[in-house]
Amino acid sequence: MRQRLADYRVFWRQFRQAYHTTGAVLPSGPRLCAALSHFVREGDAADGRRILEVGPGTGAVTDRIVRDLGPADHLTLVERNEAFVGHLREHLQAAQPAALAASRVEMVHASVEDLPEEQPFDLIISGLPLNNFSVSLVEMLLGKMMSLLRPGGTLSFFEYVAIRRAKSLVCSASDRERLRGIARVLNELLGPAEIRRDLVLANVPPAWVHHVKKTET
Ligand SMILES: C[S@@+](CC[C@H](N)C(=O)[O-])C[C@H]1O[C@@H](n2cnc3c(N)ncnc32)[C@H](O)[C@@H]1O
């Protein structure tokens, strides 16, 4: 309980100090974390997989992924916000000591766009607040995450239900145009490649989780 309150405090502070990249008031709830980790739990872990979590924040989704890892899986976390990185190190030491001791979890303090692409990942789980970004940045980040995936690998990410419609009601004309651009970019990615979609109503706010498979060739 004390750990969760500390997580909420850090998250709220970063929401105020770095709204643009934090993008949420609260960490993801348990149902949303479970939906994001679906393919970690359900996929074939026999040979050990390379898994990447982008934007772990205070570690809510990370905890669920670690719980779902197969015995030979390896998880990399990439987080750009220094305050989250410091807090997450402490969080993992308290919540996931066995996984850390076995070197099954590695933390990288960087932006995902700076990760090298030589060793592709089998699964990527993203917490990036895409609807806060410019259209070109969303295009670049989605392209980068697909480049970091091996052929046949899966990218799972979420967005809050009707968030673009809700924002469009109160934002400027140029922001509306930006949100329309993001919808177009997402549709281009999801149309041919989405293999599963989960509606998570038991989250604040409710969210869609999209799962996209990279083509085999
Ligand atoms: C909406 S929060 C999600 C936090 C956590 N995954 C959760 O669901 O509770 C977005 C996270 O993405 C991180 N982030 C934003 N842009 C990033 C980037 N380019 N590379 C890596 N992390 C980024 C933020 O610092 C923040 O931790």
Atom number, ligand 1, closest to the C-alpha of residue 59 = 5
34-71 confidence digits (pLDDT tens): 999 999 999 887 889 999 999 999 999 999 999 999 99
Q: Answer whether residue 2 is part of any domain.
A: no
Q: Answer whether residue 9 is part of any domain.
A: no
Return d(Cα 16, Cα 23) in angstroms, integer.
10
**Structural domain containing residue 152:** 28-213
Atom number, ligand 1, closest to the C-alpha of residue 113 = 19
Which of 13, 17, 33, 54 for a ligand 1 pocket mutation test, highest count of atoms within 8 Å of Cβ?
54
Ligand 1 centroid–CA 96 distance in Å is 20
Q: HEC profile for 97-125?
A: HHHHHCCCEEEEECCHHHCCCCCCEEEEE
Q: State the CATH number of the domain containing residue 205.
A: 3.40.50.150
99-142 confidence digits (pLDDT tens): 887 789 999 999 999 999 999 999 999 999 999 999 999 999 99
In this structure, what are the phi and psi dihedrals at residue 151, rounded to the nearest 5 degrees? -55, 135
8 A C-beta contact, residue 108 and residue 77: yes
171-202 confidence digits (pLDDT tens): 888 888 989 999 999 999 888 899 999 999 99
Q: Answer whether residue 49 is part of any domain.
A: yes
Return d(Cα 165, Cα 65) in angstroms, integer.
30
Q: Which pLDDT value is given to residue 162?
A: 81
